[in-house]
């Protein structure tokens, strides 16, 4: 299967809100669309979706994941998500190659930074394989829950 980047439509964003991760990964579940829309989360705002988000789809345009690239002053802050039913199937490697490719294309020469919850060893392993290194660990509160985070960076 070949994954590709496309626009993240409102329909895709609503589908992402229906993804449900199990157990400790449930912290990654989005609230219902009506709630995040009323709270004006970035994924619900058309301009933000257009500027920062991309959908990751297969050749049949089936949604497999999404990426978010936020252009900060000295780096690109990334967010990634895979559909729960395909987690652990090796697609993370493809997803991270897509992320790095998009960063090179849109923001050449900028460092890539991400945050991941410290318990998510599977994702941390994937990010390390993609060339990211741990630079910090800290605790913070987020709209989807309090927790310990690992900050990772990659230069390409």
How many domains, in total, are found in the chain?
Answer: 1
Dihedral sign from CA coordinates of 132, 21, 94, 3: negative
Phi first, then psi, for residue 26 (nearest 5°) are -60, -15
50, 85, 128 from 149: Cα distances, Å: 27, 24, 15
pLDDT at position 142 is 84
Which residue carries 């729960």 as its tokens?
84
pLDDT at position 155 is 80
Mean pLDDT by 10 residues, the chain (156 residues): 94 97 93 96 96 96 97 95 92 93 94 96 95 97 85 90
pLDDT at position 122 is 93
Task: Tell me if 97 sits within 8 A of 116, measured CB to CB.
Answer: no
The CATH number of the domain where 72 resides is what? 3.40.630.30
Q: Which domain holds residue 147?
A: 4-154
**C-alpha triplet 53, 89, 146: angle, nearest 5°:** 55
């Amino acid at each position: 299967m070949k994954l590709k980047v496309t626009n993240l439509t409102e329909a895709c964003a609503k589908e992402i809100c229906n993804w449900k991760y199990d157990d400790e990964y449930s912290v990654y579940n989005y609230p219902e669309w009506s709630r995040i829309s009323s709270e004006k989360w970035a994924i619900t705002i058309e301009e933000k979706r257009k500027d920062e988000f991309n959908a990751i789809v297969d050749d049949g345009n089936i949604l497999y994941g999404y990426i978010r690239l936020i252009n900060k002053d000295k780096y690109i802050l990334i967010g990634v998500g895979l559909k729960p039913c395909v987690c652990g199937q090796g697609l993370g490697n493809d997803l991270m190659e897509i992320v790095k490719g998009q960063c090179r294309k849109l923001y050449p020469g900028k460092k890539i930074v991400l945050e991941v919850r410290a318990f998510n060893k599977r994702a941390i392993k994937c990010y390390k394989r993609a060339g990211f290194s741990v630079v910090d660990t800290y605790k913070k509160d987020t709209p989807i829950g309090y927790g310990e985070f690992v900050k990772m960076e990659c230069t390409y």
